[in-house]
Structure 1
Amino acid sequence: MLTAGRLRLLIALIIITPFLVWWGLGGSTLPKNPVVREETRSTYDFFMRDNESRYWDENGNLARSWESQEMHHYPARNSSQLLEPIAHMPQQGGGTYKIRANDGWVLDDQSEIQLAGNVEVNHNPQSGPGSLLTTSTLNVFPPRNYAETDAPATLTRNGERTESTGLEVYFDERRVELLSNVRGRYDAP
């Protein structure tokens, strides 16, 4: 004989059993085919924090090193974004160039590095006075030891201050070519 409690339990089992069978036999809420996210130019595949990269020349000497607070690699762009990059480029005759910026992009093949925001190039020669170049953007081409900008730039060295619109830097030759609107000032010590 069925009591009222057992009758309620039997009715509840009859109502729930079809849902449990449906769920167990393939009524899963997971998709049948995995969803593949389309890669866009804004999709990065990895990132690194507090990273440093070193590059060596064919003779085994340090050619340059780069460090940044954060780096995101974008495979669709074949490049990486660098947050607050700093570069060190030692020179054959001694001394070094130290380059820093707020932001940068480096191509995967290392052929070009695009820097933007408070770009500074400090030249610290082994002997003689150093120099400081400041600009808003700078494209560096490491394989050629060359850099250029079309933006306004200021070069300061040993009391001399020279401003120009656009310039070219030849790191190996320790030479800077000022392109246009050149103005200079010398402050005697």
Structure 2
Amino acid sequence: MTVLSFRKLKHWPGVIALSVCAGTTAWILERLEEQNIPREAVGPDEPDSYMENFVQTAMDERGRLESRLRAKRMFHFSDDTTQLLHPALELSSDNPKAPWFARADSGWIGAGNDTVLLYGNVSVWRQNPEGLREIEVQAPDLRILPKKRYAETDSATTIITPTGITQGIGMRARLAFGLVELLKNVRTHYDEKR
């Protein structure tokens, strides 16, 4: 049987205190490392940041609105691409009172913000100064080059105006000038009562 003497126990409080300090320090360092995850540790399919109720506004050199992009959610990735949930885009045109608007179920922005891809129930329209839609373009997907005010798709497209509906396959639009061109299999239904 071992008997502990008082002399042998007098160092134990110091040993216990040092052990508690070392354990606490290790725990704190572990928590700090979890909060400061380096970018390289994030996988290519995982966002490195996200925002809810995202709004991005771009102005031209004169301070006028060039474009405004909104989304319910925005996910940014380490390759500098961005995915959007329910994006809404506003683009200025030559007529500042008649900007173009676009909405979709989802979207993607390429690195450098030069290309915006819209997917699912894409609708692009322009309103007249009274707020009525002059023209609406509907397609399942659309590629927009915001700085060039250009949009295109290879998919089936419908154009709706106050006087009719035009359908075709493939579309190019020079939004700055209000020019929309369907590429093939174009059919128009004219209705002056519309």
Same fold flag (TM > 0.5):
yes
User: Which residue of 1 is the match for residue 116 of structure 2?
Assistant: 113
User: Which residue of 2 is the match for residue 67 of structure 1?
Assistant: 70
CA distance in structure 2 between the partners assigned to 1:91 and 1:188 by the alignment:
27
1:82 is the counterpart of 2:84:
yes
CA contact (8 A) 2:100 2:126 kept: yes
Amino acid in the other structure paired with 1:171 = L
User: Which residue of 2 is the match for residue 163 of structure 1?
Assistant: 167
1:30-49 matches, cutoff 5 A = 38-49=41-52
1:184 is the counterpart of 2:191:
no
TM-superposed CA distance for 1:142, in Å, is 0.7
- 5+ residue gaps, structure 2: 4-11
CA distance in structure 2 between the partners assigned to 1:148 and 1:91 by the alignment:
17
TM-superposed CA distance for 1:188, in Å, is 2.9
CA distance in structure 2 between the partners assigned to 1:142 and 1:90 by the alignment:
9
CA deviations on 1:106-148 (whole Å, 9 max, x unpaired) are 1231100000000000111337861111000000001111010
CA deviations on 1:21-68 (whole Å, 9 max, x unpaired) are 9xx4x998999xx79774332111111001111001122111010111
Distance 1:124 1:50, change over 3 A: same
Structure label with greater radius of gyration: 1
> How many pairs does the alignment contain?
171
Greater helix share, structure number: 2
Amino acid in the other structure paired with 2:169 = T
Amino acid in the other structure paired with 1:121 = V
CA distance in structure 2 between the partners assigned to 1:41 and 1:150 by the alignment:
29
CA distance in structure 2 between the partners assigned to 1:117 and 1:64 by the alignment:
21
Amino acid in the other structure paired with 1:188 = E
TM-superposed CA distance for 1:92, in Å, is 2.8
**SS state of the match for residue 149, structure 1?**
strand
User: Which residue of 2 is the match for residue 12 of structure 1?
Assistant: none
CA distance in structure 2 between the partners assigned to 1:42 and 1:74 by the alignment:
8
CA distance in structure 1 between the partners assigned to 2:154 and 2:116 by the alignment:
15
Question: Could you tell me the TM-score, scaled by structure 2's length?
Answer: 0.76
Amino acid in the other structure paired with 1:169 = A
**SS state of the match for residue 179, structure 1?**
strand
1:80-159 matches, cutoff 5 A = 80-93=82-95, 94-126=97-129, 130-159=134-163
Aligned Cα root-mean-square deviation (Å): 3.0
User: Which residue of 2 is the match for residue 13 of structure 1?
Assistant: none
Question: Could you tell me the TM-score, scaled by structure 1's length?
Answer: 0.78
1:53 is the counterpart of 2:59:
no
